[in-house]
Each structure stands twice: as structure tokens, then as C-alpha cells.
Amino acid sequence: MPPGQFSVAINITRVGIGFAHQQAGPDFRIDRDGRRIWIEVITPTAANIPAEWLAPAGNGVRDFPHEAILLRWTAAIKQKAEVLLGNPQLAVPGYLAHGIVGADDAYVIAINGRLLRGFDGVVDALDGISQFPFAVEATFAVGPLQARINRETLEAGAPEHQQRYLIHKPAGLPVPADTFLDQRFAPISAIWATDIDEFSLLERIPRMAVVHNPGAANPVSPRLLPAQDEYIAREIDEQNYQTDRVDGSLPGKAVDEVVVG
């Protein structure tokens, strides 16, 4: 079993969830409460991430290559979405077309960001420039914080998050960052964002977050998967939505939120 799958398997087992692995199909299958939940694991490589971020020489201020890291998250989501949905342009069927994943099954993409950490692994790879996880930025078009300036009074308004539906690459076409706002991806139930390495074997608790798809055809229940935080979106009106950060381990209300409009 590859290291990324092994690390995820350890954390599933620790919370008392039984799982199965089969040769053809997603990496893990969970049968729970009469439902089938598939988990597909990917550990993005650090392609196009600056070396000075991954392993800086000496101390000092470094740029945060947040867009380069976010592109690795969007690429991972795209790759595992195509495994499920297929690629119509290339006439390649996915798990759904093959009947491996059923129409009523939940499908979770687990992304382990361990290879994208900064400063020789000291800075974890989950949180983006918005101060929310990259998995939120990649699925809900959440961009950096901004403050609008009144041109007449020059007063700054309250901080708010930008809408960022596209990420512009140095070369090539822009990349979408709104997966969970697109109904084509309704078969994807959630993104399970993790930062897990071999130290999990030494009982170190890794960072984990679950980002739920509000338009999922088959959603997964909150607090099913191990995570410190979960993100659940709700529509405010046709132009605005709110994503609440909920404690992933204990029942309770939202403890943080981002409104995008």
C-alpha cells in the first residue's frame, strides 16, 4: 500500500471505522449504516513549488507561493474527479460508468498535502492565503481577504473574502477553483484534506479537515471522518453563500465563517 493510502488507513482505523480495499476501484470502501462510502486518496507532488519554500536556505522572510500550492490542490481534485466521472473529451469512462461506484454511493477525495509543506516541513500544507484550507479555496472560489475603499471618503470597509473563480497560471489556461459550485461535480461528496506523515505512527495527531459539497447527490454525515474542522456551505441568496467552520469532533455551532458574494 502506498504511503499516502497507508497513512489515511491508520487514521480511519483509529476512530473505529472499518474499511475494505479491493483491486479495482477507489482506494477504500466503508460500509456504514446501510450506505457505501468510497474514499480515493492522492498525495500531490511538489511540482512547480519554489525550492525556497520547501527547503529554504537560512532564515529570513519568504514569499508564500499560495497560488502554486493551490494549483496542486485543484489538479489533485481534477484528477480524482475524472477517475469517478470519466473524461468525455477523451471518451474515457470512470468508476460511475463502469458501475464500480454506484449511483447512491458517496465518494470522498482524500488529499494528503504532506509534500507541499514549507520550511523543511515545519509549516503545514492545509491553509491557504484566505486563512481557510486550500480545499475550501479550490472548491468554493474563496480568495484572499480584501477591504473596499470608498473613493469619496477614503474609508475602508469591513474585510471580506474575494471571489476567485479562476486561478491564473504563468502559462496555459486559467484553472477553475469552484468545484462545489458546479453541479457537474455533484457525485463528489466531500474533500478530506489531510497533512499526514509517518509520525502518525508515533501517535502525533495530524491536521485534517473535511469540506462538504452542499450540492452532493450523496452527502456524507458530519463528524464521520476524523478531522479537527469541517466546512459546510449554505446559500444566502442567488449571489452569496456562507461557509461555516464547525468543530469536527464535538457537537456544536459554527465557530468561524466566510461569506462570499
Residue 133 in domain: yes
Which of the four pLDDT bands, split at 50, 70 and 90, describes residue 194? very high
- Between residues 75 and 250, the one the model is more confident about: 75
As given in the structure block, the three cell numbers for residue 110 are 482524500
Residue 89 in domain: no
User: Do 241 and 235 contact (CB within 8 A), yes or no?
Assistant: yes
Highest mean pLDDT among 51-65, 66-80, 150-164: 66-80
Residue 252, pLDDT score: 44
Residue-wise pLDDT for 44-54, tens only, equals 999 999 988 88
pLDDT at residue 177 tops 90 = yes
State the residue range of the domain holding 235: 3-73+94-260
Q: For all residues of the chain together, what is the average pLDDT? A: 84
Identify the burial level of 85 via C-beta atoms within 10 angstroms of its C-beta, where 0-12 means exposed, 13-18 middle and 19 or more buried: buried
Residue 85 in domain: no
d(CA 142, CA 130): 7
Residue 7, pLDDT score: 53
Residue 56, pLDDT score: 79
Residue-wise pLDDT for 31-44, tens only, equals 887 889 999 999 99
Residue 66 in domain: yes
105-116 mean pLDDT: 95
Residue 84 in domain: no
Residue 256 in domain: yes
Nearest to 85 by CA among 214, 188, 189, 218: 188
Residue 14 in domain: yes
Residue 81 in domain: no
Q: How many domains does the chain have?
A: 1
- Between residues 82 and 200, the one the model is more confident about: 82
pLDDT at residue 251 tops 60 = no
Sole residue written with cell 466531500: 190
Dihedral angle of Cα 203, 26, 125, 190, to the nearest 10 degrees: -100
pTM of the predicted structure, to 2 decimals? 0.85
